[in-house]
Chains A and B, each alone.
Chain A
Amino acid sequence: MKKMIQHGLAIVDSPYDDEGKKRTLVNKLLLGLTPSQYLLQAFRNPFNWILAAIFAIGIPILIGRFFFGLAWATSGSNDYPWGLFLGFGLFAMVPLSSSGFQLGTACEIFGRHDLEPIERLALLNGLLGYFFAVMYLLADLGQPWRLPYPMVVSFGPAAVLFLVAWHVATYLSVQVAEVSTAFFEWIGFPAGKRAIRKITLGLTVSGIILSTLHQGALGALFTYAPGKVHPLWYSSSFQWLHFFVSSLPGGLCMVITVSTIVAKTMAWRGDSRFHEKLDKVTVSLAKGACMGIATYITIKLIGIAHDNKWAYLDTGWGQWFMFEIIVGFMLPLTLMTYGVHTRKMAIVRIGAFMTVFGVVLNRVNTAMITFNWKLPHREIPPWREVIISLTIFATYIVVYRFILYRLPILYKWRRQEQEETVPEAVPAAARGRREASTVPVASYSRMTKLD
């Protein structure tokens, strides 16, 4: 894409193209390219080849899982009923997706409009994370077609999972509504956008409620297995609090991570507002994440003190626990605090990556690695399970990229009247480029011949 823009391609950021004609849906879907140009840029991207390789192997195995059963695709263990699909897919994706409700709260409830350049990215990150957590769940459930049963057929209201099912389903629809404003802008349906704007406050508040509860509920799921989860990762009183509080820095740091990646890999898509404000917004997010991590470490230590589990720290499990909390939480807290104070963005971002790693490690530890710590054998996921997990994650990346390329997430959608009222919203660089090149498509086709 970068090369094409250098050669004068006008990126899609308004309903009208250069000649003032209304863009068609196909044109918007193809990023303003012709089909052959679109294919060309897709083929030229080496990352697409990696994805293609993953899909070529992964999709047949994923389909095989539904034909040959879970025993074929996963470890199919009675002692470790939850493998990678849930241990990583569900339990790690959900905390990394708490960004939606946090940025929604900051912008809409606390009125932190300075965070708006990243609000939509955070909302989308939340939506996709949840959506793909559900995809992982569908791959893992014995009978995924029965997923609506807890909603319509048979109710088990005393179960924590019942709460998780209802809340994730409700919250997914809340997030679809929140992200749909960007979609309505892009598709050209302002009435829909206005309707959503009116209920934004309600959506945001219900987002906070649902998130608090099901982030905590995922932790509470493990309070059903007091003897199986290792005491250092288990706390009857605080388990839900540990999961909820660690999801806060997890979500914020995931947004820092994603925004860092997209600012590098799809710089053309972000407008000047996004690029100029990114560092400042990252600092704000990192500050929030630092407070979250500090709170998390505190209650984690309180949890250990509450049940007097200090002796466990002196075991092999204890060292593993200290590795998790030091590398995954304490070190990033130090790095981010230092980075924020000295405005060293690279250090802040490294801290954020490490926090994401820490949260994922914590969930995988609780659900898989330290689970059944009293049993003599540990379960290593078989290769098919790993491949399927990787395939679903690759799909997540593809869908994420597909949406970021198109919808006004990283940039502001320009409308005719907006250009007059909010001129600074127009990416100056892009406009300059467009003025400079008189015959964009012609110059581009010249380039393709050269290649």
Chain B
Amino acid sequence: MKRRNFLKACLIGGTTIALGKTNKGYASGSFEGYPEAMGVLVDTTRCIGCRSCEAACNKEQKLPEPDTSFDDPSVFEHDRRPTAKAYTVVNRYQKEQPSGPVYRKVQCNHCNEPACLTSCFVNAYTKTQEGAVIYNSKVCVGCRNCMIACPFNAPGYDYDSATNPVVKKCILCYDTRLKYGRPPACVEICPQEALTFGHRADLIKLAHERIRATPDRYVDHVYGEKEVGGTSWLYLAPVGFDKLGFDTTLSNDPIISNVKDFLGMVPMVLSIWPALFSGIHLLCKNQEHGEHGHDTDSNQEDTKP
């Protein structure tokens, strides 16, 4: 191999390494969330399924008119999920129980280490100091990887738009309220005080305090305290969370920790491969020059690296 070719290979390899450097993931240890982050505690034992939070959200976020009015109880027949037209929905569970049905409000849970944020290749998502996970729809390409990644199936996509479809989800009323220290519209409207707005750290204390004071009323778990690294929305429930449609199989590690195995491998490949394969090439070259009559067929090398 000519020296010039070798230098060229090195140069190209080096450029690729430099290029790939930017791909390294932020391998943060364990991020507990911003200290001043706000949150909402949902006490499902208090919720009566009036759906006024849905109506308030619709008005606050200027969402399109729903298909049926917010008084229509027929929507409880099926489980719903947040969409681009409704950032929050209320579902009914435990219909047949003598203690009466349990309602659960669903929306973006505003994770401390959001999967959507870490999966977005244009960095459209931001976790603000106030705890909200907001997004910049001006850069959204529409790959919908965040929807794949979200463990709570929160982001919706407005597939109907041909010219400007973007991902849409609850932003904790960041632009209009949270930024100014005011609670989100859904919390403010709730007639049952099922939703409590406050600092996330305080809400966790409050939730455990309620469980301690009335242990018969709740199962001893605050959903969202630890799930996928903790979320800004926290839930209390009278029955097992799995019965209310919560995913109880989620790990306490943030989603990104699953990806770190791969991200850690990237710099290794970038730095080792060029030398390894240029080296193999040199070895093969020498062999060719050394023994001219070598039989290539007996040397059935696997073509994979």
Q: Do A and B come from one complex?
A: yes
The residues of A with any CB-CB pair to B shorter than 8 Å are 66-72, 74, 76, 78-79, 81-82, 102-103, 105-106, 108-115, 141-144, 146-147, 149-150, 153-166, 170, 198-199, 201-206, 208-210, 212-213, 216-217, 219-228, 236-237, 239-240, 245, 248, 252, 284-285, 287-288, 291-292, 295, 374
| Cα A287 to Cα B303 with chains together (Å) | 9
Report the separation of the CA atoms of residues A227 and B274 in the bound assembly, to the nearest whole angstrom.
36
B62 interface residue (CB < 8 Å to A): no
Say yes or no: A105 contacts B305, CB within 8 Å: yes
**A115 proximity list for chain B (CB < 8 A):** 303
If the complex has contacts A201-B8, A205-B13, are A212 and B165 also in contact, measured as CB distance less than 8 A? no
Given contacts A112-B296, A208-B273, contact A221 B145 (CB under 8 A): yes
Min Cβ gap A198→B in Å is 7
Contacts of B270 in A (CB 8 A): 209, 213
Q: Please measure, in the bound complex, the distance between the C-alpha atom of A163 and the C-alpha atom of B25, giving whole angstroms.
A: 10
In angstroms, Cα B271 to Cα A29, docked, is 43
- Which single member of B12, B24, B118, B119 contacts A205 (CB below 8 Å)? B12
Q: A52–B284 Cα gap in the complex (Å)?
A: 49
Are A163 and B161 touching (Cβ within 8 A)?
no
Q: Are B121 and A225 in contact (CB under 8 A)?
A: no
Q: Which of B140, B251, B303 is packed against the most chain A CB atoms within 10 Å?
A: B303
Asked if A205 and B122 make an inter-chain contact with CB atoms under 8 angstroms apart, the answer reads no
CA distance A210 to B17 in the complex (A): 10
| Beta-carbon contact of A227 and B300 below 8 Å | no
A346 to B274, CA, bound (A): 38
- Asked whether B83 is an interface residue with its Cβ less than 8 Å from the other chain, the reply is yes
* A226–B255 CB distance below 8 A: yes
| Given A142-B166, A155-B123, A81 and B277 contact (CB-CB distance below 8 Å) | no
Q: Are A114 and B296 in contact (CB under 8 A)?
A: yes
Contacts of A285 in B (CB 8 A): 303
The answer to whether A79 touches B261, judged by C-beta atoms less than 8 angstroms apart, is: no
Residues on the A chain within 8 Å of B26, using CB = 158
Whether the pair A206, B13 counts as a contact (CB closer than 8 A) is yes
Residues in A whose Cβ lies below 8 Å from that of B5: 198, 201-202
Cβ-closest chain B residue relative to A145: B141
Question: A210–B16 contact, CB under 8 A?
Answer: yes
Report the separation of the CA atoms of residues A396 and B261 in the bound assembly, to the nearest whole angstrom.
35
A157 touches B22 (CB 8 A): yes
Closest to A229 in B: B148
Q: Pick from A103, A114, A219, A227: contact of B151, CB below 8 A.
A: A227
- A102 to B: closest C-beta gap in Å: 5
A162 touches B159 (CB 8 A): no
Q: Is the CB of A109 within 8 A of B284?
A: yes
The residues of B that contact A153 with a CB separation of less than 8 Å are 122, 139
Max chain B CB contacts within 10 Å: which of A114, A156, A248?
A156
Q: How large is the interface on B (under 10, 10 to 19, 20 to 34, 35 or more residues)?
A: 35 or more
Q: Which 4 A-B pairs rank lowest in CB-CB distance, beginning with the nearest?
A: A142-B142, A76-B159, A202-B12, A81-B144
Select from chain A the residue with minimum beta-carbon distance to B160: A71
A286 to B297, CA, bound (A): 14
Residue of chain B at shortest CB distance from A340: B300
In the complex, chain B residues 265-295 whose Cβ is within 8 Å of any chain A Cβ: 265-266, 269-270, 273-274, 277-278, 280-281, 284-285, 287-288
CB distance from A108 to the nearest CB of B (A): 7
Contacts of B288 in A (CB 8 A): 111
Asked if B23 and A166 make an inter-chain contact with CB atoms under 8 angstroms apart, the answer reads yes
Roughly how many angstroms separate A359 CA and B195 CA in the complex, as a whole number? 49
- Determine whether the beta carbon of A159 is less than 8 Å from that of B119: yes
Task: Identify which of B121, B258, B285 contacts A150 (C-beta below 8 A).
Answer: B121
Is the pair A206, B124 in contact by a Cβ cutoff of 8 Å?
A: no
Among B9, B121, B281, contact of A156 (Cβ-Cβ < 8 Å): B121
Residue B188 CB within 8 A of the other chain: no
> For chain B residues 117-174, which have a beta carbon within 8 Å of chain A?
118-124, 136, 139-145, 147-149, 151, 153, 155-157, 159-162, 164-166
CA distance A157 to B262 in the complex (A): 14
Q: A79-B153, A157-B22 are in contact. List 16 more A-B contacts (CB 8 A).
A: A68-B162, A69-B161, A76-B159, A81-B147, A110-B281, A114-B296, A142-B166, A153-B122, A154-B139, A155-B22, A155-B122, A206-B13, A206-B16, A223-B261, A224-B258, A227-B151
Q: Name B255's contact: one of A74, A149, A217, A224 (CB within 8 Å).
A: A224
Closest B residue, CB atoms, query A291 = B302
Asked if B162 and A67 sit within 8 Å, CB to CB, the answer is yes
Q: How far is the CA of A213 from the CA of B156 in the complex (A)?
A: 30
What are 10 residue pairs bridging A and B, where the CB atoms are less than 8 Å apart in the complex? A72-B162, A81-B147, A109-B284, A111-B281, A142-B159, A143-B141, A159-B121, A222-B148, A226-B251, A227-B250
B249 contacts A by Cβ under 8 Å: yes
- Shortest CB–CB separation between residue A222 and chain B, in angstroms? 8
The one of B83, B151, B277 that contacts A78, using a Cβ cutoff of 8 Å: B83
Measured CB to CB, the closest approach of chain A to B108, in angstroms, equals 13
- A61 smallest CB distance to B (angstroms): 14
Q: Could you say which residues of chain B place their CB within 8 Å of the CB of A163?
A: 20, 23, 266
**For residue B213, which residues in chain A have a CB less than 8 angstroms away from its CB?**
none
Query: Which B residues from 163 to 210 make CB contacts under 8 A with A?
Result: 164-166
User: What chain A residues lie within 8 Å of B83 (beta carbons)?
Assistant: 78
